[in-house]
Amino acid sequence: MKKCDFRQSGRDASGEEAQASKTQRPIVAVYPGSFDPVTLGHEDVVRRTLRFCDRLVVGVAETATQAKGSLFPVQERLEMMREVFAGESRVDCVSFSGLLVDFARDEGARFIIRGLRAVSDFDYEFQMAQMNRELWDEVETIFLTPEVHYSFLSATLVREVAALGGDVSTFVSPVVLERLQRHYS
Ligand code: PNS
């Protein structure tokens, strides 16, 4: 079988294409959520996003569409997020209030990243994606599925299990586990 040789087809990385990629706008995305607290499932979505995006702004929302009764204040969720992604130079963690589309626009991002775990997530995610597009028609929502091992994982369940004394060490990073243990000790 004939192999595709990009050099022969004029598409080698030192040619025009490389030049074009230097002048292209960086791909910036926002990953919004409540992150109360950040789980390994969220972390997985961030790392998957970094495969195709130059800069990712993780936005801890001060106003969530579905109020779930918060455990950690926004500032503490943000601190955990920053600790978890301290080694990722392409990830910025900030909090935001107001509309998600305004936050995305202010950050220079036209992509919203959301994790989709199961069909049960779909209605809510579909509604939000469509509403966000109504609010700003240049924005695209990209859904990523997490590692199958995390497909059942939610911050809500982590909070509940931790509150009842269960072991959540396989669901969150050590820095988050420490905060949960401190909270419930
Ligand atoms: O992790 P969550 O709670 O599912 O995240 C929901 C979040 C924060 C992404 C959503 O509630 C949101 O975008 N809030 C910001 C306010 C806003 O823009 N609301 C309209 C959304 S269509």
pLDDT, tens digit, 9 for 90 and up, residues 83-97: 999 999 999 999 999
Summarize pLDDT for 61-73 with one digit per residue, the tens: 998 877 778 999 9
Give the Å distance between the CA of 3 and the centre of ligand 1.
46
For helices 155-163 and 174-184, the axis angle rounded to 10 degrees is 40
What is the model's pLDDT at position 8? 38
Helices (H), the chain: 16-23, 40-49, 74-84, 100-106, 122-135, 155-163, 174-184
Q: CA 133 to CA 127: how far, in whole Å?
A: 10
Q: Return the higher-pLDDT residue of 31 and 9.
A: 31
Q: What are phi and psi of 113, to 5 degrees?
A: -100, 135
User: Ligand 1: which of 36, 100, 101 to mutate, judged by most atoms within 8 Å of the beta carbon?
Assistant: 100
- Return the ligand 1 atom nearest residue 98 CA: 16
Give the Å distance between the CA of 99 and the centre of ligand 1.
8
**Residue 141 near residue 115 (C-beta atoms within 8 A):** no
Residue 15, pLDDT > 80, answer no
Q: CA 115 to CA 154: how far, in whole Å?
A: 11
- Return the ligand 1 atom nearest residue 34 CA: 1
Give the Å distance between the CA of 78 and the centre of ligand 1.
16
User: Any bridge partners for residue 56, and if so which?
Assistant: 29, 91
Average pLDDT over residues 51-65: 94
Q: What are phi and psi of 15, to 5 degrees?
A: -90, -150
- Whole-model pTM: value is 0.88
User: Ligand 1: which of 42, 60, 65, 134 to mutate, judged by most atoms within 8 Å of the beta carbon?
Assistant: 65
Q: Which residues contact 132 (CB under 8 A, 6 or more apart)?
A: 100, 101, 112, 139, 141
Domains and CATH numbers, the chain: 26-184 (3.40.50.620)
**Ligand 1 close to Cβ of residue 97 (< 6 A):** no
Residue 154, pLDDT > 70, answer yes
Q: Which residue, 180, 147, 151, is CA-closest to 80?
A: 180
